[in-house]
A and B are shown apart, each in its own frame.
Chain A
Amino acid sequence: MADIDEIRKKFDIHVLADKKKDELKKYECNLYCCDSTGCRSSGSEPIMGVMKRIIEENNLQEKVRTIPTGCMGLCAQGPLVRVEIKGQKDVLYKMLDASIMEKIMLEHIIPALNLKDGDSFKLPSELNQYTLSLELPFFTKQEKVVLKNAGHIDPEDVQEYIADGGYLALEKVLKTMTPEEVVQEMKKSGLRGRGGGGFSTGMKWEIAAKVPLVDEKFIICNGDEGDPGAYMDRSILEGNPHEVIEGMMIGAYAIGATEGWFYIRAEYPLAVERVQKAIKDCKKNMLLGSNIMGSNFSFNIEVRLGAGAFVCGEETALIRSIEGNRGTPRPRPPYPTDSGIWGKPSCVNNVETLANIPTIIMKGAEWFSSFGTETSKGTKVFALTGQVEHSGLIEVPMGTTLNEIVNVIGGGVPGGKKLKAVQTGGPSGGVIPVSEMDLPVCYECLKKVGSIMGSGGMIVMDDTSNMVDIAHFYLDFTVDESCGKCAPCRIGGKQLLMLLEKIKQGRGTIKEIESLKKVAEAMQKASLCGLGQTAPNPVLSTLKFFEGEYMDRLKK
């Protein structure tokens, strides 16, 4: 036993954290280069190549460090590089390529490093055009909890996460809290499921914890983000996988789970790779396995991939998919917390939900619930896209108004066009017209205007968008993604789509509008799962706010 204790001491997170901090102290300059899917596709890899080459050529290895990071947020402006030099103001570069990077290295980094203490560096005007002001409302108006580390640590280096306070929450939980206390803390925080359902995470854990353990109990991280126009979960998994793993482990401890499962879209290879690497690193550092941190808590994690089925975001379909079946939802009850994978109790939590957990544990439920509205606490990550100036990933406190998000943080609609509407909740959500821009984002507020929070896709539309086309676009998606199990969704969706096509082509009459409503009602009331029940929402909400656009397309 003594041996194991010795080894454990070696892997004590405080020891690991101090070691890493010592190692990082020496660097005078940190070059953060966004290495998420978005920036990679804009060409971040050659940029990092240039950095490394010039560092080597100038023997700066002891002074300058390059850090490939997760998403910095402003994807539309990528590739992004953030330069932090001791004693100097931070600079954020945008839309780089290798040749500009070379210039930055030679005309900014090296000269700045050679300055005397106290002197401030003046950026050559040529480079100025590539900078983004960190004073932009896009940066200053955000409140980052989940994304606090993304863009600032190397997601593939567990030591960095630990040095930044990672796994301290797990330690706190294992050493000072009972599972019951963890559940109570979650309930007190008011955290609700970020996948769209909005069910209280604490209550879900409480239910799952109460199910007696027979042989196994599972906790599942739902990473099957499928809403077109949403990539919050991808960015979190790519940018800081350990945050999610730590959240899952805390959840597992709270509910008494014996094993964890990540279910991630196959379309997110980088996220999969990073989660797998993170799990491996956890095992190496004794953060997964038996008697974690010397406690009685033992836990392991498996990764399973989706295969291109939106409906697998629905928890019962996800479970069937892990089991190796068609991802068709089944009726609830029984809820997965009673009967999940292979009939064993399974608690399904979304990526962003789990990513919130470590911070809530460290800073406390009260701190967390100080953000947000009466019923929606904390912050929410949104993928702000579409016709908006600053398209990207943002995190704001619940209750922030749509206006603030779109016009202030997002910088409004570009190209002199006018804002027409904002779509939230993806194919299950609705379109919110410009007249409702003072609406604060919270679960209930969005529902009131016929949309939903959903997982966090927020799509801005200008006055060139036609709402019949938009409704058709979303419905086309859900019809394609319907699992086909239940008749109202399978056939209703198709008929609804055909009705919309008829209207789009100018062949519709008022009879088609009536039929739209009839089919929509059948789908809402008789579909088996959320996908079918909410599929008519984009149609109904556009019909509610933009009925005129439908009427304009009818047969004259």
Chain B
Amino acid sequence: MVNLKIDNHVVNVPAGTSILDAARQVQIDIPTLCKHPDVDPSAGCGLCIVKVNGRILRSCCTPVAEGMNIITSDPELVGVRRSVLELILSNHPNSCLTCIRSGNCELQDLTQDFGIREPKYPNITKKYPIDDTTKSIVLDPAKCITCGRCVEVCQNQQNVWALSFLNRGIATRISGAGGITLEESPCIKCGQCSAHCPTGAIVEYDETEKVWDMLNNPELHVVVQVAPAVRVAVGEDFGYEIGENLTGKLYASLRRLGFNKVFDTNFGADLTIMEEATEFVSRLTKTPSSLPLVTSCCPAWVDLLEKYHHDMIPYFSSCKSPQSMVGALTKTYYAEKAGIDPAKIRVISIMPCTAKKWEIVRSEDMSSSGFQDVDVSLTTRELARMIKQSGINFRELENEEADNPLGEYTGAATIFGTTGGVMTAALRTAYHFVTGKELGVFEFKAIEGLEGIKEAEVDVDGTKVRIAVAHGAGNVETVLQRIREAKANGTELPYHFIEVMACRGGCVAGGGQPRALLPNQPKPRGITDEIRAKRREGLLNEDRGSEIRRSHQNPSIQQLYKDFLGEPASHKAHELLHTHYVERNTYNNRNE
């Protein structure tokens, strides 16, 4: 432990702590625009300067040392910070009124805090083409303050290398790798860049207008489905505590918005488990050489696999994601049941994720109903804006229930939204499929928490099933490498079943989640491990409190198989609920 003084308060912190973090212990939030707890300090913005024994240093990257005497704020420091902020603003469009990030922008926050009321220097912002080629995320380099968070996340945490810096000095900007568009780049649309961007430089591709048009069209029957992770995050945009489960109010608000039916993606999650557990059991008992089975409900991960890991395609679960399953069934099973022409049905999904926007047009398999199965995928942030726009007082809404037949779900479904959840849910059902018995435990301690790669072993009727859970795209490589080595050497597989989620923490921390800053919440906005843990806890609590916690026990699922699909992995199930993967170029259209 290191003893030091910050603004005359004695502080005692572990060696290696930065001054910035140490200052939090004495209730000081030193301003910064580039430091984020998820990334190493880049030391870019220059705002977090403090005086260390009289010398001005950056607090984000200066570790504490014994006996340091630190001043975090005095007229000189505040004056320099203000100048730096004024300089940053001189290279920013300052078009806050029409910016999608207005109200949840870190640069705007600081400008307000510093009371800057007029531009001090001529504006030198350069216009660049806006890159919306992915139709998932939108990059506007002009709004970028080159803090480097997105690049760090994309390259080093996600190991995707879609984003890069280009040029140097005042011409420095971010761009798809080597100046190409994001669509041509290896971008997997995970949106973690957007989740970490302090300004409006990388944001979600807004499709609310499209949805309003559908809702306003009396000819259409507009159906909505909500993903698991949305329910524990949407409340933050309405002043609720992080992680508070607001499923009932969410349903109510969706009805108020004018959706004709409110379904739940969680139903699709239970269904995914039925199909995936069947697939796993089949591979385990009949064709062990086709193991491991790798989960496929994360579209960013699917994208990564198709671009970077062609050799792993045979091990990928053919199951569609819950979103796609609900989409396909809405335009077939539900349409048939309700007697509605599927051509007139529109399916909107509310997702914590920007990659889901890509998933719905990923391949022909995504139109298995004969129509595009899901028409528009909105992020949690877009939904929150729609609710606000309609003047719905979210906090005052009474809880409501989802509609049948695609609304009922179990505790196993809701934990899909967090790392380890899919695996846990699948094991509960797979165990049943193999043994005919029910697993005594519901949770697996070894795959809890936010460790990047988690491993466990489960005894399924005498067979030791080894599982791995990886989250954060950058952690996948390690797991796949172990598989490759085992396959190459002919040694025993390290894992039989692997869950992958591209975002650290899983969907609760997806690229489309809210960026509200609650009064009691430490900066920065966006996603931190603290937020991940709280939202995750919200989902785990719902599971723990659920009466039914096994997907195969969902009555609506059982009904679906009885009335429509037959049995898991049936021909019909394959047509509607399964998909194929293809090898794609890492760099689209640029392999000339």
Contacts and interface: CB of A to CB of B under 8 A. Distances in A.
B277 interface: no
Contact of B46 (A479, A487, A494): A487
Given A490-B146, A494-B124, A526 B80 contact: yes
Nearest to B58: A331
Contacts of A525: 49, 56, 76, 80
A308 to B, nearest CB: 10
B62 A498 contact: no
A518 interface: yes
B80 A521 contact: yes
Contact of A495 (B61, B90, B165): B90
Interface string A492-532: 11110010000000000000000100110110011110000
Size category, B interface:
35 or more
Interface string A453-480: 0000000000000000000000000011
Contact of A333 (B62, B91, B146): B62
Contact of B84 (A326, A483, A487, A494): A487
Contacts of A521: 79-80, 83
Contacts of B84: 487-488, 492, 522, 526
Q: Is the interface of B mostly helix, strand, loop or mixed?
A: loop
Given A482-B169, A482-B170, A527-B46, A491 B87 contact: yes
Nearest to B77: A525
A157 interface: no
B99 interface: no
A331 B170 contact: no
B146 to A, nearest CB: 7
Interface in B45-87: 45-47, 49, 56, 58, 61-63, 76, 79-81, 83-84, 87
A492 B122 CA distance: 12
Given A333-B62, A480-B169, A522-B80, A486 B122 contact: no
B61 A487 contact: no
A330 interface: yes
Interface in B3-51: 41-47, 49
B168 interface: yes
Q: Is the interface of A mostly helix, strand, loop or mixed?
A: helix
Contacts of B120: 515
Contacts of A482: 168-170
Nearest to A494: B170
Contacts of A486: 43-46
B145 interface: yes
Interface string B144-168: 0110100000000000000001011
A263 B165 CA distance: 24
Interface residues of A, number: 31
Given A326-B165, A526-B46, A493 B170 contact: yes
A488 B121 contact: no
Contacts of A485: 42-44, 146, 148, 172
B124 A528 contact: no
A479 B170 contact: yes
A479 B172 CA distance: 12
B31 to A, nearest CB: 12
Interface in B157-211: 165, 167-172
Contacts of B122: 495, 498
B169 A488 contact: no
Interface string B523-557: 00000000000000000000000000000000000
A483 B169 contact: yes
> Which residue, B56, B83, B91, B165, has most C-beta atoms of chain A within 10 A?
B83
Nearest to B57: A331
B171 A484 contact: yes
Interface string A305-320: 0000100000000000
A227 interface: no
A528 B46 contact: yes
B80 A484 contact: no
A492 B90 CA distance: 10
Nearest to B92: A491
A330 to B, nearest CB: 7
B110 interface: no
Interface string B287-316: 000000000000000000000000000000
B124 A331 contact: no
Contacts of A330: 43, 61
Nearest to A492: B87
A97 interface: no
A490 B58 CA distance: 17
B493 interface: no
Nearest to A490: B170
B166 to A, nearest CB: 10
B88 interface: yes
A481 interface: yes
A334 to B, nearest CB: 9
Given A491-B87, A518-B83, A522-B83, A309 B168 contact: yes
A494 B49 CA distance: 21
Interface string A398-422: 0000000000000000000000000
Contacts of B146: 484-485, 487, 490
Contacts of B43: 330-331, 485-486, 528
Contacts of A518: 83
B40 to A, nearest CB: 9
Contacts of B168: 309, 326, 482-484
Contacts of A309: 168
A526 B83 CA distance: 10
Nearest to B122: A498
> Which residue, A490, A495, A518, has most C-beta atoms of chain B within 10 A?
A490
Nearest to A502: B122
B397 to A, nearest CB: 43
Contacts of A528: 43-44, 46, 58
A528 B42 CA distance: 10
A183 to B, nearest CB: 25
A476 B167 CA distance: 17
A520 to B, nearest CB: 10
A551 to B, nearest CB: 22
Contacts of A480: 169
A260 B90 CA distance: 44
A336 B194 CA distance: 33
B172 A519 contact: no
7 contacts: A309-B168, A484-B169, A485-B43, A487-B46, A488-B46, A491-B170, A495-B124
Q: Which 3 pairs, one residue from A and one from B, show the smallest C-beta to C-beta distance?
A: A484-B172, A522-B83, A526-B46
Given A481-B169, A526-B47, 11 more contacts: A331-B61, A333-B62, A482-B168, A484-B167, A484-B169, A491-B87, A495-B90, A522-B87, A525-B76, A526-B80, A526-B83
Interface of A: 309, 326, 330-331, 333, 479-488, 490-495, 498, 515, 518-519, 521-522, 525-528
